[in-house]
Amino acid sequence: MDSCAAVEKEVEKVINKFSAINDHSQRIIGDVISLIEKLRSSIAEGNPDSKVTAGQVDVLNEALSKTKDKLHRLTTEHRDLHGTVSKVGKAIDRNFVADFTATSRTDVFQTERNVMLLNKIMAQHFYRQGMDDVADALIKESGLPAEDIVPEPYAELHRIWEAIHTGNLAPALDWAARYSAELDARNSTLEFKLHRLAFMQILNGGVQAQTDAIAYARSNFAKFVRRFEKDIQILMGTLIYLQIGIHNSPYKYLTAPEMWIETADVFLKDACQLLGINKDSPLSVIVNAGCTALPALLNLKQVMMSRQVTGIWNGRDELPIEIELEPDNRFHSIFACPILRQQSSEDNPPMKLLCGHVISRDALNKLSNGPILKCPYCPMEQCPSDAKLIYF
């Protein structure tokens, strides 16, 4: 954050200086125009056939001198602005790292399997963004089996999500009606929120739309009375303010753009849960997690280089430090051995003893005394080979 603040400070200086130069330039240009108008008027007053008088020559010289001086000042200010702009670039170079190769592993995508996985999540991301042509081209050029990716769920959800943002509720209402039973089973609020937006959309037509709004409410709100009685009462209260306009009433928040954005997000979340797909693209999750981890990794790499121990990171399948991610980015349970205080991995998985206690395989090997293992938490003795590998 300190780095961002430092760059932002330089950007603010540029903006302020640009605004000042812009105002000053407008005044200078106005003065030059006035001088030229004055000169033209002076010349127009004389006889076209007569020679230029000494007074007119003085006016002309004065105008040229002032114009040259003002243009020189404009040029100087513009040159100074370039210097201020260049300081922004220097601030970025000073506060941010441009080379991230020190925190990456080039061998990750040297296997065909990993390359195909990368292409797959990229294609899925493009489908989620509605960029079907790009995804199709990627699949074709990378040789990715088309049957590995089914674009239809992503494409349909993206079309509906975009339609909500543009004020078109018909696709979303059709989808919600199709999955109404499943949404009710999940106690979803999506269908009601869509009908609420549709009701408010009708009310935007003014007093003449009152009959249509009441008819819509009678047709669609009956099934929601048990769960959303209070909300429906609020919607009915909006009818009182049709004369003065909903935007002038206490219910103006119902017409705010945030209501549409919220409903679009609810649709995407509930639809993804219902169809068993992730709400966020795997590619976006990876990028966000990487951005979160990057500052810590850069600091760690700098420390490792200063102590000349850079080799301990190479070739490992896990990071040398723990990175705290947001709760949304935690997708599975993690076991940490209570004996060695280490997180489990493929090479060091959790092992369940006969007594029910769980320790890591490394701890199991260290605690074993030949064919006998004494549990570190209870007095039960057992054979190390009786321990069972467990999965989280």
Domain ranges of the chain: 1-94, 112-151, 153-273, 334-387
Query: Could you tell me the two tokens for 172?
Result: 């979303």
Three-state DSSP at 115 gives helix
In the chain, DSSP finds a helix count (H) and a strand count (E) of: 13, 5
Look-up: residue for tokens 């696709």?
171
pLDDT in tens, 175-195: 999 999 999 888 999 999 999
Side-chain-side CA neighbours of residue 249 (13 Å):
18
Helix, strand, coil % (nearest 5) of the chain?
70, 5, 30
What per-residue confidence (pLDDT) applies to 73?
80
**Facing residues of 343 across strands?**
336
Q: Between vectors from CA 348 to CA 344 and to CA 349, what angle results, nearest 5°?
A: 65
- Amino acid letter for position 344: S
- DSSP label at residue 252: G
| Residue 38 φ then ψ, to 5° | -65, -40
10-residue mean pLDDT profile of the chain (392 residues): values are 76 83 80 77 68 70 78 80 80 72 72 86 84 86 78 78 91 92 90 93 88 91 90 90 86 90 91 82 84 80 70 60 74 78 83 88 86 84 86 73
CA distance 209 to 205: 5
239 by Cβ neighbours in 10 Å (0-12 / 13-18 / 19+) ranks as middle
Are 1-94 and 334-387 equal in CATH topology? no
Q: Chain centroid to CA 160: how far? A: 20
| Residue 277 φ then ψ, to 5° | -125, 160
69 by Cβ neighbours in 10 Å (0-12 / 13-18 / 19+) ranks as exposed
- Amino acid letter for position 294: L
CA distance 178 to 180: 6
CA distance 201 to 169: 10
1-94 sits in which CATH class?
mainly alpha
Look-up: residue for tokens 């209402």?
173
CA distance 318 to 133: 36
Q: How far apart are the first and last CA of the chain?
A: 36
pLDDT in tens, 87-96: 878 887 777 7
Query: Could you tell me the two tokens for 244?
Result: 């003065």
Contacts of 129 (CB under 8 A, 6+ apart): 158, 281
What per-residue confidence (pLDDT) applies to 176?
92
CA distance 350 to 337: 7
Which CATH number does the domain 334-387 belong to among 3.40.50.10800, 3.30.70.580, 3.20.20.80, 3.30.40.10?
A: 3.30.40.10
Query: Could you tell me the two tokens for 68?
Result: 């040259």
pTM above 0.85, yes or no: no
CA distance 175 to 184: 14
CA distance 195 to 169: 9
CA distance 310 to 292: 22
Sign of the torsion formed by the C-alpha atoms of 166, 189, 325 and 155: negative
- The 3 state secondary structure assigned to 20-86 is HHHHHHHHHHHHHHHHHHHHHHHHHHCCCCCCCCHHHHHHHHHHHHHHHHHHHHHHHHHHHHHHHHH
What per-residue confidence (pLDDT) applies to 314?
57
88, 6 Cβ separation under 8 angstroms: no
What per-residue confidence (pLDDT) applies to 136?
86
